[in-house]
Amino acid sequence: MSDLDLIIKNADVVVAGSALTQQLDIGIKDGRIAVLAADLQVEPGVDLVDAAGRTVFPGVVDAHQHWGIYNPLSEDAATESRACAQGGVTTALNYMRTGQYYLNRGGSYAEFFPEVLAQTENRSVVDYAFHLAPMSRGHIDEIPALVKEHGVTSFKIFMFYGSHGLHGRSDDQRSFLMTPEGERYDYAHFEFVMRGVQAAREQYPEFADQISLSLHCETAEIMSAYTKLVEEDGSLSGLPAYSASRPPHSEGLAVTIASYLAHETGLPTINLLHLTSRKAVDASVRMAEAFPHVDFRREVTVGHLLADCDTAHGIGGKVNPPLRPREDVEALWDHVLDGTIDWVVSDHACCRDEQKFGSDRDDVFLAKSGFGGAEYLLAGMITEGRKRGLGLDRVAQLTATNPAERYGLGATKGAIEVGKDADLAIVDMDHTWTVRAEDSESTQEYTPFEGAELTAKVTDTFVRGRQVMTDGVVTATGGGRYVARPTA
């Protein structure tokens, strides 16, 4: 085909539906995959990338990030999207809400969301979209307009915010969430959010299955009580103390409550975010058996698959829900292998050193929650997955195909197929390297993965056919687009 813009030759390509890679050339035209065939002829004027000896994965659709939570949104869009490119992430879906952090303001999404789009425009290296959290009654009323006018098809509930803050106990809900006077962010509100999302699904039946609600499943009352117990006991410190203060059965209980509310409201598209423990996954499986009409999807993070609370590098690994003991890490891997887990994300939330740690750098309860990790997502999944017999096609499903399809991106992203965006990650499958925070494009100066040895490395990343990383160096600035969903 002489009208191609770019050909990637000699690659081992991870193709949907095939357990084995296929040696194919990828022909790209106008940012999309135009042809997949062996031994394409390179005509004059066509750019060429030789991927001999390397493997091409679909660009990662990282369905859980938090740009702007600790740093100005416009800054994070620029710097953290570079970390995305470094890790083969070509589309970043970010959680956003009103209240403290993010833009630090309340009000309607009609006023708030255009500001979000303005602050990210022409800043990101990769494509991006947003999940929004309906924090008030007014936000619930705005759901249909957010779907129709802004292409936001995914929404979120933070189940523990009712009486627990982002980093620990909190009795001051309204100032934290900036909700209207007289309103509560509680189980009743969660029910009404579900009814609002279901109403939007009914209003737009042609793509109802791509309108979904995600839940951060922890229960504030259990966490508050156990935090007090852990602090009074004093025998635990660091990340093990934080894990004990937010015990796994808190996740399991929240999953159970969320599931019954989904049943009660008739909302079938429920995503259970960053499950961290055997008990949490067990609860989700039990609820799926109890409510077979609810289409549950289960997410885990690469952090909870690579690190545990005993071996992570310092309390910089504080995150919600917490890193768990090794037995829970291995339980998560068992569920990844048996197909129970639907996708893997980074939960990337850049929190710089000066913000992360409190006055006592060893006190985990003073530290802020969250850390980056998009730059290690694909390499980490390949490294640990291969040890356990996880196929490369399954890696692609977990990191790209499944989240793209659920979140309204499946028509254009998530797989290497003719007609889809040329979002690609080229990986050297035989490159052993050691994680060092100083090598990351993120502005975060530490990582809980410090010193980890990975055995695969992303060398080149393409977003809609545009090479944004070449030979391990992020070369692009800007160029990423906001993606309204569902994509056509």
Is residue 40 a contact partner of residue 25, using CB atoms and an 8 Å limit?
Answer: yes
pTM over 0.95: yes
Is residue 34 a contact partner of residue 27, using CB atoms and an 8 Å limit?
Answer: yes
Query: Mean pLDDT throughout 73-77?
Result: 98
Q: What percent of the chain has pLDDT over 70?
A: 97
41 DSSP assignment: -
Of 439, 437, 487, 480, nearest in space to 461 by CA: 480
What is the spatial distance between Cα 413 and Cα 465, in angstroms, rounded to a whole number? 12
Residue 173 confidence class, pLDDT cut points 50, 70, 90: low
Task: Give the pLDDT confidence score for residue 168 in this predicted structure.
Answer: 55
List beta partners, residue 33: 28
pLDDT higher than threshold 80 for residue 484: yes
Task: Give the pLDDT confidence score for residue 164 in this predicted structure.
Answer: 55
Domains of the chain: 60-409+435-453 (3.20.20.140)
List beta partners, residue 36: 26
pLDDT higher than threshold 50 for residue 48: yes
The CA-based angle 433-125-5, given to 5 degrees, is 95
What is the spatial distance between Cα 185 and Cα 208, in angstroms, rounded to a whole number? 26
Q: Which residue reads 């933070």 in tokens?
A: 158
Task: Give the pLDDT confidence score for residue 174 in this predicted structure.
Answer: 66
List beta partners, residue 216: 158
pLDDT higher than threshold 70 for residue 289: yes
Residue 331 confidence class, pLDDT cut points 50, 70, 90: very high
Query: Mean pLDDT throughout 97-109?
Result: 94
Radius of gyration of the chain (CA): 21
Length of the chain: 488
pLDDT higher than threshold 70 for residue 169: no
Look up residue 46 and give its amino acid.
Answer: V
Residue 85 three-state SS: helix
pLDDT higher than threshold 60 for residue 293: yes
Residue 108 three-state SS: coil
Residue 163 confidence class, pLDDT cut points 50, 70, 90: low
Query: Mean pLDDT throughout 132-161?
Result: 96
Task: Give the pLDDT confidence score for residue 161 in this predicted structure.
Answer: 75
Question: How much is the mean pLDDT over the chain?
Answer: 95
Tens of pLDDT, residue by residue over 145-158, are 999 999 999 999 99
Tens of pLDDT, residue by residue over 236-285, are 999 999 999 999 999 999 999 999 999 999 999 999 999 999 999 999 99
Locate 339 and state its tokens.
């197909």
How crowded is the C-beta side of 3, counted as CA atoms within 13 Å?
6
223 DSSP assignment: H
Task: Give the pLDDT confidence score for residue 1 in this predicted structure.
Answer: 45
List beta partners, residue 288: none
Residue 472: left if φ>0, alpha if ψ -120 to 50, beta else—which one? left
Query: In degrees rounded to 5, what are phi and psi of residue 382?
Result: -65, -45
List beta partners, residue 481: none
Residue 222 three-state SS: helix
List beta partners, residue 157: 215
Contacts of 331 (CB under 8 A, 6+ apart): 277, 278, 281
What is the spatial distance between Cα 28 and Cα 8, in angstroms, rounded to a whole number? 8
Query: Mean pLDDT throughout 154-170?
Result: 72
Tens of pLDDT, residue by residue over 367-382, are 999 999 999 999 999 9
What is the spatial distance between Cα 242 and Cα 60, in angstroms, rounded to a whole number? 30
